[in-house]
């Protein structure tokens, strides 16, 4: 029989053994390495932010992180010392969502370099020495903003880690696809921003870049859930993954998209490859490009992880209470982002000088935030196709060198467009421009509009000089012709002879300089010859000869323009302000026709000054409803021409509606006037909307016809004219498709219905 003493010792030894075993197990668990793996998936991959947020809230340690595509962006920012909340704030900002969706193209437009608005639908950039394939577009979206954001938010952490991704706050890996050799490329060192960018370069959507002499694309093409990379790189004990992607279904013979997807994308292994762990799979219906639903995806990822936390705790009991403390300590050692030098590759020294002056207007050190506006404005520079930024750290100065990889724009640009309508105003448009960049930029261009209603030819040479005070010098010559028919009903009906034909030729020199990225001031001097043909009687026959006025004049103009409108026509956002001062003097020669009471030629000398002002602003009242007020005014010292019709022709017309510019509307012409209007836009989708607008035209001095066919100015504000319009507009990738119903008070047929596709825009008028 066992003695009580021995029995007691046995219990104590057993308890010690069990306790030791438990301690060793806990110690072993505490030493287990946990690797995080983040899939690709576009907008749905925003779920990774919620996933990381939930892990941190529950104290689950993260010893390494591996990501691909959007998972690489989120994982790279996390490894650079940003919390999930920081990442959410950055990647869900309105600007970022618009940028990554490709909807912010006009946000960084440099109006000074992009002043002229034409009727183009398609712009083709051509390298005259290149093969046809090299002139075809390769992508839809230039992520200039994304590139700068990635640099700004990763370069300091990368410098602190000495470009070694193992030395970041959390060791990091990302994957890109080498399409030439059909294999993965794993990044463990180098430029962190460039590695993340290549991993997220979605084919045909995002502009590809070269890294280590290879053209790389989205890592999800060959490996959209890189658990193998995490295993090979970090040898983890546990893998916790977040996956929002899937393998495509088999190609179908009648489905081209499914065939292309299967040709481009290899099947990925979405397993843990034998490792202990768990894969969180948020459930949602968010598609790759549904970036407007990013916050939904974050919530989905967070909730899915919280719901799985018990399963995670069954795998590991580890708790990391010092995660935030380590992050703060890591970020504290990062050097401030002071840039002391600018370098460029892919361009000459002369071109480097142009770009340096465009970016940095002041001497001395600068920060990325200080040049961000100028940098993003490069996207609208006519000489620059693309800029990719890198930066490296100089230990001696404790500052950075900004290194820009420059792709110059192709030297030739051809544009095609115009307007197609149910009215007899159909017009074609074509232009050609040649560009060259050295110390300054040079553009030689010509365009032509051709149609029965409007035809024009313009040629100009533009020299653009960058610097602290940028300057543009543009000599030009333009020929315009407007043919106003007596009948303007339908494209398919015969039209009666024209009752007014406006011909003008002018040549001049314009000098301009920017006052901001969205405004510029200009000075213009020109010589104009305007020679309209017209009839004084409304009932004329083909046997009658027209009257003609020839006006040779010199005109000097000074003006300022501000423009942030989001479309060339049918805008829904932004603001436009124009202020013009002009002085004109010249000689009028009148040649009477068969319907004129005047016999013999008349010559008169004329001189006048005028001020014109216009304002339009789109003010959102809700996500779908937009209000826009409009003002247009003119004050002039111009007195009448030799007859009432000539006076009407030489007075600028109030054109608040798109169709207005295609009509000759004498009641909306006056020496001194004010136009007031307001409109509403109801957005059904980003591209489709309904709009209505109402205007009142107040001529301070109406044009009255005397018995002798001369002009007599009526009383101040003795008449008022109302104009209104409604339209349904769909903005296609080429241009707007619109159905308009308009009302013009004072017309014999005041109601008008017009369907048009394209732009009703013209070259600049001479007067």
* Per-residue pLDDT at 51 exceeds 90: yes
pLDDT confidence bin for 706, thresholds 50/70/90: low
Q: Could you give the number of structural domains in the chain?
A: 3
Helix, strand and coil in the chain, % to nearest 5: 25, 40, 35
Residue 269 lies in a domain: yes
* CB neighbours of residue 22 within 10 Å: 10
Which entry of 218, 381, 390, 460 is annotated as an active-site residue? 218
* CB neighbours of residue 235 within 10 Å: 11
* Per-residue pLDDT at 487 exceeds 50: no
pLDDT confidence bin for 237, thresholds 50/70/90: very high
- Asked if 291 and 43 count as a contact pair (C-beta separation under 8 A), the reply is yes
* Per-residue pLDDT at 234 exceeds 60: yes
pLDDT tens by residue, 337-362: 888 888 888 889 899 899 888 888 77
Looking at the fold, whether 395 and 319 belong to one and the same domain comes out as: no
* Per-residue pLDDT at 317 exceeds 70: yes
Mean predicted confidence (pLDDT) in 274-299: 88
Looking at the fold, whether 404 and 416 belong to one and the same domain comes out as: no
CATH number of residue 345's parent domain: 3.10.20.310
Boundary-marking domain end, from 333, 361, 381: 333
pLDDT confidence bin for 132, thresholds 50/70/90: low
Note if 269 is an active site residue.
no
**Phi, psi torsion values for 677, nearest 5 degrees:** -155, 165
Residue 139 lies in a domain: no
* Per-residue pLDDT at 258 exceeds 90: no
* pLDDT on residue 442: 95
Looking at the fold, whether 658 and 702 belong to one and the same domain comes out as: yes
Looking at the fold, whether 311 and 224 belong to one and the same domain comes out as: yes
* Per-residue pLDDT at 37 exceeds 60: yes
Mean predicted confidence (pLDDT) in 664-669: 90
Looking at the fold, whether 322 and 343 belong to one and the same domain comes out as: no
Which entry of 39, 44, 64, 69 is annotated as an active-site residue? 69
Cα Rg for the chain, rounded, in angstroms?
A: 34
Looking at the fold, whether 168 and 79 belong to one and the same domain comes out as: yes
Residue 84 lies in a domain: yes
Looking at the fold, whether 465 and 477 belong to one and the same domain comes out as: yes
Looking at the fold, whether 604 and 684 belong to one and the same domain comes out as: yes
Residue 118 lies in a domain: no
Percent of the chain with pLDDT over 70: 87
Q: Which domain holds residue 473?
A: 412-758
Surface-to-core class of residue 90, CB atoms within 10 Å of its CB (0-12 exposed, 13-18 middle, 19+ buried): middle
User: Model-level pTM?
Assistant: 0.81
Residue 186 lies in a domain: yes
Residue 18 lies in a domain: no
Residue 142 lies in a domain: no
Mean predicted confidence (pLDDT) in 632-656: 88
Boundary-marking domain end, from 408, 431, 446: 408
* Per-residue pLDDT at 749 exceeds 80: yes
Q: Choose among 655, 631, 622, 524: nearest CA to 576.
A: 631
CA 492 – CA 330 distance, rounded (Å): 73
List, as one string, the DSSP characters of 376-422.
HHGGG-TTEEEEEEEEEEETTTTEEEEEEEEEEPPSEEEEEEEEEES
* Per-residue pLDDT at 25 exceeds 60: no
Residue 553 lies in a domain: yes
Looking at the fold, whether 388 and 422 belong to one and the same domain comes out as: no
pLDDT confidence bin for 251, thresholds 50/70/90: low
Mean predicted confidence (pLDDT) in 203-231: 87
Note if 284 is an active site residue.
no
* Per-residue pLDDT at 659 exceeds 80: yes
* pLDDT on residue 701: 72
CATH number of residue 251's parent domain: 3.40.1090.10
675-709 burial, b for 16+ CB within 10 Å, e for fewer? bebebebebeeeeebebebbbbbbbbbbbebeeeb
Mean predicted confidence (pLDDT) in 683-708: 84
* Per-residue pLDDT at 8 exceeds 90: no
* pLDDT on residue 491: 40
150-160 burial, b for 16+ CB within 10 Å, e for fewer? bbbbbbbbbbb
Looking at the fold, whether 319 and 372 belong to one and the same domain comes out as: no
CA 454 – CA 607 distance, rounded (Å): 28
pLDDT confidence bin for 2, thresholds 50/70/90: low
Looking at the fold, whether 393 and 417 belong to one and the same domain comes out as: no
Looking at the fold, whether 246 and 190 belong to one and the same domain comes out as: yes
Mean predicted confidence (pLDDT) in 723-743: 95
Mean predicted confidence (pLDDT) in 70-95: 94
Q: Tokens at residue 107, please?
A: 């946000």
* pLDDT on residue 537: 75
CATH number of residue 422's parent domain: 2.40.160.50
Boundary-marking domain end, from 304, 333, 362: 333
In this structure, the dihedral spanned by the alpha carbons of residues 260, 261, 262 and 268, taken in order and rounded to 10 degrees, is 160
């Amino acid at each position: 029989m066992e003695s009580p003493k021995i029995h007691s010792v046995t219990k104590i030894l057993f308890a010690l053994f069990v306790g030791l075993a438990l301690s060793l197990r806990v110690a072993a668990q505490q030493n287990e390495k946990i690797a995080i793996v983040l899939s690709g998936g576009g907008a749905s991959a925003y779920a990774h932010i919620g996933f990381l947020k939930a892990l941190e809230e529950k104290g689950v340690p993260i010893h390494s992180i591996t990501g691909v595509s959007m998972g690489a962006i989120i994982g790279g920012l996390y490894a650079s010392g940003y919390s999930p909340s920081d990442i959410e704030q950055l990647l869900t900002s309105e600007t970022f969502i618009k940028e990554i969706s490709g909807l912010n193209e006009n946000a960084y437009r440099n109006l000074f370099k992009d002043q002229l608005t034409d009727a183009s639908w398609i712009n083709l950039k051509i390298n005259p020495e290149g093969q046809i394939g090299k002139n075809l577009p390769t992508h839809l979206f230039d992520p200039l903003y994304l590139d700068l954001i990635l640099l700004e938010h990763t370069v300091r952490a990368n410098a602190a880690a000495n470009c070694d991704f193992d030395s970041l706050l959390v060791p990091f890996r990302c994957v890109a696809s080498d399409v030439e050799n059909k294999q993965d490329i794993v990044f463990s060192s180098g430029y962190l921003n460039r590695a993340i960018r290549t991993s997220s370069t979605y084919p045909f959507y995002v502009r590809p870049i070269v890294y280590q002499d290879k053209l790389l694309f989205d890592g999800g093409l060959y490996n959209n859930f890189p658990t193998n990379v995490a295993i090979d790189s970090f040898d983890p004990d546990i893998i916790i993954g977040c996956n929002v992607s899937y393998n495509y279904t088999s190609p179908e013979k009648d489905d081209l998209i499914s065939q292309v997807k299967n040709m481009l994308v290899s099947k990925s292994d979405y397993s843990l490859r034998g490792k202990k762990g768990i894969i969180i799979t948020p459930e949602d219906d968010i598609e790759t490009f549904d970036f407007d639903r990013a916050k939904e995806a974050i919530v989905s990822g967070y909730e899915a992880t919280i719901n799985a936390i018990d399963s995670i705790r069954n795998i590991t009991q580890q708790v990391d209470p010092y995660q935030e403390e380590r992050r703060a300590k890591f970020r504290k050692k990062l050097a401030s982002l002071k840039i002391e030098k600018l370098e460029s590759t892919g361009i000459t020294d002369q071109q480097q000088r142009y770009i340096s002056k465009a970016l940095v207007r002041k001497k001395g050190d600068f920060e990325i935030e200080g040049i961000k506006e100028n940098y993003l404005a490069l996207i609208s520079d006519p000489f620059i196709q693309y800029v990719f930024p890198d930066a490296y750290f100089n230990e001696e100065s404790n500052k950075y060198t900004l290194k820009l990889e420059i792709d110059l724009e192709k030297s030739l640009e051809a544009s095609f467009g115009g307007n197609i309508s149910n009215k007899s105003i159909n017009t074609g448009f074509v232009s050609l421009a040649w560009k060259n960049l050295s110390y300054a930029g040079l553009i030689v261009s010509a365009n032509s509009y051709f149609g029965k209603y409007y035809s024009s030819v313009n040629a100009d040479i533009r020299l653009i000089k960058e610097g602290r005070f940028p300057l543009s010098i543009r000599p030009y010559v333009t020929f315009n012709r407007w043919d106003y028919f007596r009948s303007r009903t339908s494209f398919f009906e015969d039209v009666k002879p024209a009752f007014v034909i406006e011909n003008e030729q002018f040549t001049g020199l314009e000098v301009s300089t920017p006052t901001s990225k969205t405004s510029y001031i200009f000075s213009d001097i020109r010589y104009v010859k305007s020679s309209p043909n017209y009839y004084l009687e409304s009932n004329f026959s083909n046997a009658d000869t027209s009257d003609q006025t020839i006006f040779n004049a010199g005109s000097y103009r000074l003006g300022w323009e501000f423009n942030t409108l989001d479309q060339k026509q049918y805008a829904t956002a932004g603001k436009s302000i124009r202020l013009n001062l002009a002085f004109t003097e010249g000689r009028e020669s009148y040649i009477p026709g068969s319907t004129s009471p005047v016999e013999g030629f008349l010559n008169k000398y004329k001189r006048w000054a005028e001020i014109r002002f216009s304002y339009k602003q789109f003010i959102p009242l809700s996500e779908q409803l937009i209000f826009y007020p409009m003002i247009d005014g003119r004050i002039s010292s111009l007195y009448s021409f030799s007859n009432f019709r000539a006076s009407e022709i030489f007075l600028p017309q109030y054109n608040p509606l798109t169709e207005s510019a295609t009509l000759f509307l004498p009641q909306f012409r006056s020496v001194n006037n004010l136009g007031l209007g307001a409109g509403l836009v109801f957005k059904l989708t980003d591209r489709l909307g309904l709009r209505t607008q109402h205007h009142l035209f107040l001529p301070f001095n109406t044009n009255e016809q005397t018995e002798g066919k001369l002009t007599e100015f009526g009383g101040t504000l003795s008449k008022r004219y109302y104009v209104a319009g409604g339209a349904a507009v769909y903005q296609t990738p080429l241009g707007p498709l619109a159905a308009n119903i308009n009302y013009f008070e004072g017309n014999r047929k005041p109601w008008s219905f017009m369907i048009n596709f394209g732009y009703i825009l013209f070259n600049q008028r001479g007067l």
